Chains A and B, each alone.
Chain A
Amino acid sequence: MTPLLDVRDLSIVLPREDRDLVALNNASFTLGRGEVLGLVGESGAGKSLTGAAIIDLLSPPLRRSAGRITLDGERIDGLTPAQMEKVRGRRIGFVFQDPLTSLNPVLTIGRHFTDTLLSHFDISFAEARRRAVHWIGRVGLSDPELRFDQYPHHLSGGMRQRIVIALALCCEPLMVIADEPTTALDVSVQAHVLKLLRDLHAETGVAVLLITHDLGVMAKMADRVAVLYAGRIVEIGPAARLLGAPHHPYTRGLLRATPSHKAAAGRLEPIPGSMPNLASIPSGCAFHPRCPRATEICRDRVPVLEGRHEGDAVACWHPVTEDRP
Chain B
Amino acid sequence: MFRYASARIAQTVVVLLAIAFIGFLLVSNLGDPLASLLPPDATPQDRAALIATLHLDQPVAMRFLTFLKGLLVGDFGISYRSHEPVAALIWERLPATVELAFASLAITLLVGVPLGVYCGIRPRSALAKAVMFVSIAGVTLPTFVVGILLIAVFSVKLGLLPSFGRGQTVDLGFWKTGLLTASGWRALVLPAITLSLFQVTFVIRMIRTQLMEVGHSEFIRFARARGVEARRIWFVHALKNTLLPVITVLALQFGNIIAFSVVTENVFAWPGLGSLFLQSIQTADMPVISVYLIIIGAIFMMLNLLVELSYPLIDQRVLRERA
Contact = CB atoms under 8 A, between A and B. Distances in A.
Direct contact of A and B (CB under 8 A): yes
Interface of A: 55, 57, 59, 81, 85-90, 93-94, 96, 98, 101-107, 112, 115-116, 119-120, 151, 153, 164, 167-168, 171
A94 B228 contact: no
Contacts of B216: 59
A57 B241 CA distance: 21
B219 A119 contact: no
Contacts of A106: 240-241, 244, 314-316
Interface string B214-235: 0011111111111111101000
A96 B241 contact: no
Given A101-B218, A107-B240, A115-B237, A57 B314 contact: no
B122 interface: no
B322 interface: no
**Chain A CB within 10 Å, residue with most, of B222, B315, B320:** B222
Contact-residue size bin, chain B (C-beta under 8 Å from the other chain):
20 to 34
Nearest to B314: A106
Contact of B230 (A85, A93, A104, A107): A85
Contacts of A167: 222, 226
A85 B227 contact: yes
B317 interface: yes
A305 to B, nearest CB: 29
Contacts of A153: 316-317, 320
Contacts of A102: 218-219, 222
A94 B219 CA distance: 12
Given A106-B315, A115-B232, A153-B316, A98 B227 contact: no
B42 interface: no
A320 B217 CA distance: 43
Nearest to A111: B236
Contacts, number: 85
Contacts of B223: 104, 112, 115-116
Contact of B227 (A88, A103, A105): A88
A101 B218 CA distance: 6
**Chain A CB within 10 Å, residue with most, of B224, B237, B317:** B224
Contact of B221 (A96, A115, A119): A96
A266 B291 CA distance: 83
8 contacts: A88-B226, A98-B218, A101-B219, A104-B241, A105-B316, A106-B241, A119-B232, A153-B320
B228 A89 contact: yes
A81 B314 CA distance: 31
B225 A96 contact: yes
Given A101-B219, A104-B241, A115-B232, A87 B226 contact: no
Contacts of B226: 88-89, 93-94, 116, 119, 167-168, 171
A96 B227 CA distance: 14
B139 to A, nearest CB: 28
Given A94-B222, A106-B240, A171-B226, 11 more contacts: A81-B230, A85-B230, A96-B225, A102-B219, A104-B241, A105-B241, A107-B236, A115-B228, A119-B228, A153-B317, A167-B226
A153 B91 CA distance: 47
B230 to A, nearest CB: 7
Nearest to A167: B226
A81 B229 CA distance: 10
B221 A171 contact: no
Given A115-B237, A151-B316, A171 B218 contact: no
A85 B225 contact: no
B221 A104 contact: no
A267 B83 CA distance: 97
A119 B224 CA distance: 11
Interface string B199-224: 00000000000000000111111111
A175 to B, nearest CB: 13
Contacts of B320: 153
Contacts of B218: 96, 98, 101-102
Contacts of A101: 217-219
A267 B316 CA distance: 49
A164 B227 contact: no
Contacts of A89: 225-228
A116 B317 contact: no
A229 B112 CA distance: 48
B41 to A, nearest CB: 69
Contacts of A86: 227
A153 B241 CA distance: 15
A55 B230 CA distance: 15
A91 to B, nearest CB: 9
A205 B316 CA distance: 37
Nearest to B316: A151
Contacts of A107: 236-237, 240
A55 B315 contact: no
Nearest to A100: B218
Nearest to B320: A153
